[in-house]
Every structure is written in structure tokens, then in C-alpha cells.
């Protein structure tokens, strides 16, 4: 995008985990000529970091004639009011300030409840991972594209998606398999989906072989593989068959159908 075309109030669609997020240009030259400063709205960020909008808004007041969000620690952060290109007004906090807010509030939570504290920590983890990849891609390829961002979002999300359902899957194994063979059924899923045990498949992901046409043709990215495993475990839990092997066999077939063309 031509930096000369960037305008205050311009909306930039982003992704946070599996949710849409609006970033809005505060100042087209806020970080220097042609380098816009970007804000994220209190409305929207409230759902993502787990802090109610009323809690955030109640902490906004004028300090020295400037709207600022004041935290329990006493630190305050500037809040900008911007009319965006969709003709809605937004209360925005500059993107890097949101990171500082999350760190500050997580360290000194005051009366903030645990789910909100966890939301702050999750946001910091997402922001750090995204930032590291953005820098690395820029150094390697001299560019960081929207396609790169989407791929990294999917990667980060794939590592988290299956955790709740893995607990439910564990309950199924506990209830339905008298021997409670978690490792056996994990490998059963991996063999059914990928044709190899979990350890072998993870070794491929850790150290992918370069230069082999067969490997390149049959290679399954770790993000896709983890998403497929999570989906399969979810299906086992949802099917709730009395026969644990039948449940796994059916879940594997359903997963192969859903990921047709992605699992070789």
C-alpha cells in the first residue's frame, strides 16, 4: 500500500486467534514520515483480553486535558477519539500501549479477576509470537505479507485449539478403556491420520527432511496436522460410543473427510 494514501481513521482488518479485530490509523505519520500509528479500540479489545468494556471505560478520564486510561498501578495511557472511515467514532489506544497495559495490569491486577488476568497473559503471548515471526519473515524475505500473518495466526491457533477437547477425549479413554492406554490411543489416531506414531510424526515436524520429492509431495504442515488431531479427538469425545475403538475409527474417517486433500 502507498503510504501517501494512508489516512487517519482508515480501518485495517486483523485477526486475533479466531476473531476479527479492527485496527485503525490514528496518525498517518505518527511513527515518522509514512509510518502510521495504529490504534485498537476499547470496544473489541474488551472481548479479546477478557476485561469488561465498562471496566475499561470507567478508567478513562481527563488527565492534564488529555483522555487517558488509568491503571491500578497509577500508570496512565493516552486514549484517542477517532472518526473512522465507517463513520463510527472509536476510543483507541495505540497498539504498543495495549501491550504495556497488558503487562502493567497483569503485574498489578488490583481487583481484576483471574479470567481477565489470564486474558491479558494470552494477549501478550499472541502479540509476542506474531511480532517475532513478523521480524523474522522481514529479515528472511524482506517482506511480511497478509498471507504470512494469516498462516502464523492459524499456526498459533492450531496449538491451542485442541486443549479443551483433549481433556474430554481423556475422559473417554478413562471411561471406555479399562487399561486407560492414553499413549496407545494417541498413536492410534496418528497412525490412522498420518500412517506413523506420534513420536515419529513429531520428529518429522521438528526436523523436516529437505530435498526429497516424496517428502515434499507428502509433507503435512504441523499446523494442519495438529488441527486434524484436535478435530479427531473432539469427534471421539462427541461421538461418545461405548466401544472406544469404534469411536476412534469413526472419528478418524470423519477427520479424513473434513481434511480431504490436506492429509496425504
193-211 pLDDT, tens per residue? 999 998 888 877 765 544 4
What pLDDT, on a 0 to 100 scale, did the predictor assign at position 212?
38
Does some domain include residue 150?
no
> At residue 53, does pLDDT exceed 70?
yes
170 and 247: one domain? Answer: yes
Q: How far apart are CA 34 and CA 28, in angstroms?
A: 6
Q: How far apart are CA 38 and CA 192, in angstroms?
A: 46
25 and 122: one domain? Answer: yes
130 and 225: one domain? Answer: no
Does some domain include residue 155?
no
The distance between the two most distant Cα atoms of the chain, rounded to a whole number of Å, is 68
What pLDDT, on a 0 to 100 scale, did the predictor assign at position 131?
67
105 and 137: one domain? Answer: yes
Does some domain include residue 156?
no
**Percentage of residues of the chain with pLDDT beyond 70:** 76
Does some domain include residue 264?
no
Of 249, 149, 166, 264, nearest to 217 (Cα)?
264
Which of 114, 144, 174 is the last residue before a domain boundary?
144
* CA neighbours closer than 13 Å in the CB half-sphere of residue 119: 17
Does some domain include residue 71?
yes
Does some domain include residue 60?
yes
37 and 127: one domain? Answer: yes
> Averaged over 120-132, what is the pLDDT?
73
82 and 179: one domain? Answer: no
10 and 138: one domain? Answer: yes
User: Does this model's pTM top 0.75?
Assistant: no
Does some domain include residue 151?
no
118 and 38: one domain? Answer: yes
What pLDDT, on a 0 to 100 scale, did the predictor assign at position 207?
59
133 and 166: one domain? Answer: no
98 and 228: one domain? Answer: no
Mean pLDDT taken over the chain: 79
Range of the domain at 170: 162-258
Rounded to whole angstroms, what are the CA distances from 128 to 123, 124, 134, 168, 194?
A: 9, 6, 10, 30, 31
Which of 144, 171, 204 is the last residue before a domain boundary?
144
Amino acid at each position: 500500500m502507498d503510504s501517501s494514501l494512508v489516512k487517519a481513521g482508515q480501518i485495517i482488518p486483523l485477526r486475533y486467534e479466531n476473531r476479527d479485530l479492527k485496527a485503525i490509523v490514528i496518525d498517518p505519520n505518527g511513527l515518522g514520515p509514512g509510518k502510521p500509528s495504529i490504534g485498537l479500540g476499547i470496544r473489541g479489545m474488551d472481548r479479546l483480553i477478557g476485561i469488561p468494556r465498562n471496566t475499561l471505560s470507567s478508567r478513562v478520564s481527563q488527565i492534564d486535558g488529555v483522555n487517558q486510561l488509568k491503571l491500578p498501578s497509577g500508570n496512565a495511557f493516552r486514549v484517542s477519539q477517532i472518526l473512522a472511515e465507517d463513520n463510527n467514532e472509536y476510543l483507541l489506544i495505540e497498539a504498543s500501549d495495549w501491550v504495556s497495559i497488558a503487562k502493567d495490569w497483569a503485574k498489578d491486577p488490583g481487583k481484576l479477576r483471574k479470567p481477565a488476568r489470564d486474558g491479558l497473559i494470552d494477549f501478550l503471548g499472541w502479540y509476542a509470537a506474531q511480532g517475532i515471526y513478523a521480524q523474522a519473515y522481514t529479515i528472511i524475505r524482506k517482506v511480511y505479507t497478509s498471507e504470512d500473518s494469516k498462516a502464523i495466526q492459524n499456526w498459533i491457533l492450531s496449538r491451542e485449539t485442541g486443549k479443551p477437547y483433549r481433556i474430554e477425549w481423556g475422559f473417554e479413554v478413562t471411561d471406555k478403556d479399562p487399561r486407560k492406554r492414553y499413549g496407545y490411543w494417541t498413536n492410534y489416531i496418528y497412525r490412522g491420520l498420518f500412517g506413523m506414531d506420534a513420536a515419529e510424526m513429531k520428529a518429522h515436524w521438528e526436523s523436516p527432511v529437505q530435498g526429497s520429492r516424496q517428502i515434499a509431495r507428502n509433507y503435512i504442515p504441523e499446523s494442519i496436522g495438529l488441527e486434524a488431531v484436535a478435530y479427531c479427538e473432539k469427534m471421539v469425545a462427541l461421538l461418545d460410543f461405548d466401544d472406544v475403538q469404534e469411536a476412534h475409527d469413526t472419528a478418524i474417517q470423519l477427520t479424513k473427510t473434513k481434511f480431504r486433500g490436506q492429509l496425504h
